[in-house]
Structure 1
Amino acid sequence: MRKPKITVIGGGTGIPVILNSLRLEDADITAVVTVADDGGSSGKLRGSMRLTPPGDLRNVLVAMSDMPRFYEKIFQYRFADGDGDFAGHPLGNLIIAGISEMQGSTYNAMQILTKFFHISGKIYPSSEQPLTLHAIFQDGHEVVGESRIADYQGMIDHVFVTNTYNNERPKASRKVVKAIMESDMIVLGPGSLFTSILPNLVIPEIKEALLATPAEVAYVCNIMTQRGETEHFTDANHVEVLNRHLGRDVIDTVLVNIEKVPEAYMVSNSFDEYLVQVDHDFAGLQKQAKRIISSNFLRLEKGGAFHHGDLVVEELMSLVGKKL
């Protein structure tokens, strides 16, 4: 039986958890990673060099590599606050930025780095141009810039992206549409709904490909609600937002964690953006998706609630195996 082709779309700290476990499976993996981050080190580098932000790509690169732990620590090392112009920059971001400049694009840099780190899968930025994320709130207010969205008090109605440095229509990176169309499964998330997942899906070419692909589309629903994005959201609300941005019900399968996060477990000063556990609305999910997989996907670590990558991937591989 041939290897299943699985494309994972997202960004932030969510999809690396899935990719780190998925790389151990006998699968042909493609990661499509958001390029709308404009905060922190990524924001500074994209502003000064006009390149696609490297931070989310860096985390995906590490997750999909079997590099020794010591190499990973070097690549992820973040310069101290007192280090002048280097302060706050992870060494890996600077390496990606340097190779991007040398090769003419972040897309080309990632193709070199996947070979450098002996990654068998493929990593593509969702666009080869840095994108600016726009959020339109239910009161009509618009916030421009991914890093500013959570600061506005209100409920987001929808988001869209524009090219940061020109007025052209945002385009998907080369080979991204091909990967989506040829996949057996598309995995969305986990990750910040409006700022990690949707910035990829609202690129017109990616949206059109998701509407046309014969692949199974699976969404790994978040465990916790997020300040400034999904406050008071149920799992069904997450799916409704995704389907609404795509124009019709595209999500085939939703993976939902039903294990409780222990009371007062979350360390608020480290994970202050995460509020309470996502409530379940299985009736609402059944109206929007063909299949709901509810199980214990919880991993508790260092005062945070995360997805257990191995448990999620076990379900994904079982699901895609039935499609082959």
Structure 2
Amino acid sequence: MVTKRKIVALGGGTGTFTLLTGLKVYENLDISAVVTMADDGGSNKVLRDEFGLLPTSGIRQAIIALSRDTSLLRQLFEYRFYQGTGISGMTFGNLFMAAVSDILGSQKKSIQETCKLLGVQGHILPVSYDNTSLVATYENGTEVLGEHYIDVSNPKVAKLRVVDLRSIPKIKIDNDAQSAILGADMIVIGPGDLYTNTIANLIVGGVTEAIEDSHAKVVFVMNLMNRLGETYAYKASDFLTDLSKYLSPNRLNYIVINNDLALSNSILKKYALEGSSPVIDDLGIIYHQASIVRAKLRDSHKPIRVKGDKLGRSMVRHDPKLLAKVIYGL
């Protein structure tokens, strides 16, 4: 029997969804997604405020990405309501998992049963089941509470650097997530919003310790674009400088970065209006002990806007197949 390579994707949101979608075609991989649970915007705010549940959007996206089911059931989990006032913007998948959590009396069991139902090939693991909120401190001393408010960028701090990210209250890594990281052959960090997805996981108690203690190769996938509120005007080296505050740069083995950002003027102008621009590659051939891996990674297809989605989504994304091919070859 062939031993499968154990890969852990550490992140959340669209970036992790993209990575998992590409990796799942490789049959000799044992994939685990360790997902941030700090999201408090959109439908996740409703789950937190009205149901007392931890956010499930990142979990739902990971489930869909690793699902082998191609039937109507998968389409239902992706479906987003766009009519009415009560559930407009909510996804069927989030509501379903909220209902199963209520029936079983456990959000953990709800995730496990949902994975079985959709034939997930892999493991979907919340980084923690503890409830918390993110607090970002900017270089002028301003503090912003809540993942959503960091993500949408307060005009007062939109172009300032984040100098510290912490969670209130402090939380600890879940045992299953810890075991996955400790037993991994490879840990892939990113792509995703640097603070609200990537570092949000690293500040959970026990996560960086597990990465340090693991014998896994550690890969950091560089974002394609920077954004207001988190990484305004950042170059690639700026991402790594900030990351090094939370994870030793000597623990990185590979840094994967896109070398094709030939974007149209219309797309560049749209992003410029949002205070965003492509991440400039100012790296050499090595960073501390990590090799720099450059490849064409951008998805040339424009993402389809989903009805009822009230949050802004990036038009420039990694290509699942191209990204997974590079990761698989490391």
TM-score (norm 1): 0.90
Separation in structure 1 between the aligned mates of residue 46 and residue 102 of structure 2, nearest angstrom: 15
Larger strand proportion, structure 1 or 2? 1
What aligned pairs does 1:1-324 form with structure 2 within 5 A after superposition? 1-25=2-26, 26-68=28-70, 70-81=72-83, 83-149=84-150, 150-151=153-154, 152-153=157-158, 154-163=160-169, 169-247=170-248, 249-266=250-267, 275-283=276-284, 286-302=286-302, 304-319=315-330
Deviations 1:11-64 (A, max 9, x none): 111110110111111200000111111111011111112211011111111111
- Asked if the contact 2:136/2:143 (under 8 Å) is kept, the reply is yes
- Asked if the contact 1:224/1:275 (under 8 Å) is kept, the reply is yes
Separation in structure 2 between the aligned mates of residue 127 and residue 187 of structure 1, nearest angstrom: 18
Q: Which runs of 5+ in 1 are unaligned?
A: 164-168, 320-324
Q: What SS class does the counterpart of residue 250 from structure 2 fall into?
A: coil
Separation in structure 1 between the aligned mates of residue 262 and residue 276 of structure 2, nearest angstrom: 12
Q: What SS class does the counterpart of residue 306 from structure 1 fall into?
A: coil
Aligned partner letter, 2:50 = S
Deviations 1:119-168 (A, max 9, x none): 120001111123211101111211110111122332111211124xxxxx
- Asked if the contact 1:46/1:130 (under 8 Å) is kept, the reply is no
Separation in structure 2 between the aligned mates of residue 201 and residue 222 of structure 1, nearest angstrom: 17
Separation in structure 2 between the aligned mates of residue 229 and residue 113 of structure 1, nearest angstrom: 33
Identity of aligned residues (%): 29
Name the structure 2 match of 1:166.
none
Report which stretch shifted further, 270-279 or 127-136.
Answer: 270-279
> Following TM superposition, by how much is the alpha carbon of 1:94 offset from its aligned partner in structure 2, in angstroms?
0.3
Separation in structure 1 between the aligned mates of residue 328 and residue 103 of structure 2, nearest angstrom: 38
Q: What SS class does the counterpart of residue 98 from structure 2 fall into?
A: helix
> Following TM superposition, by how much is the alpha carbon of 1:228 offset from its aligned partner in structure 2, in angstroms?
1.5
Separation in structure 2 between the aligned mates of residue 84 and residue 266 of structure 1, nearest angstrom: 32
Aligned partner letter, 2:68 = D
- Asked if the contact 1:52/1:128 (under 8 Å) is kept, the reply is yes
Q: What SS class does the counterpart of residue 316 from structure 1 fall into?
A: helix
Report which stretch shifted further, 261-270 or 239-248.
Answer: 261-270
Aligned partner letter, 2:255 = V
Q: Runs (4+) of structure 1 moved beyond 6 Å?
A: 267-272
Separation in structure 2 between the aligned mates of residue 230 and residue 69 of structure 1, nearest angstrom: 39
Distance 1:15 1:287, change over 3 A: same
Separation in structure 2 between the aligned mates of residue 65 and residue 177 of structure 1, nearest angstrom: 23
Separation in structure 1 between the aligned mates of residue 37 and residue 182 of structure 2, nearest angstrom: 21
Report which stretch shifted further, 65-74 or 26-35.
Answer: 65-74
Separation in structure 1 between the aligned mates of residue 217 and residue 275 of structure 2, nearest angstrom: 29
- Asked if the contact 2:136/2:166 (under 8 Å) is kept, the reply is yes
Distance 1:106 1:141, change over 3 A: same
Separation in structure 2 between the aligned mates of residue 4 and residue 223 of structure 1, nearest angstrom: 27
Q: Which runs of 5+ in 2 are unaligned?
A: 304-314
Separation in structure 2 between the aligned mates of residue 268 and residue 67 of structure 1, nearest angstrom: 39
Q: What SS class does the counterpart of residue 158 from structure 1 fall into?
A: strand
Separation in structure 2 between the aligned mates of residue 102 and residue 244 of structure 1, nearest angstrom: 42
- Asked if the contact 2:38/2:55 (under 8 Å) is kept, the reply is yes
TM-score (norm 2): 0.89
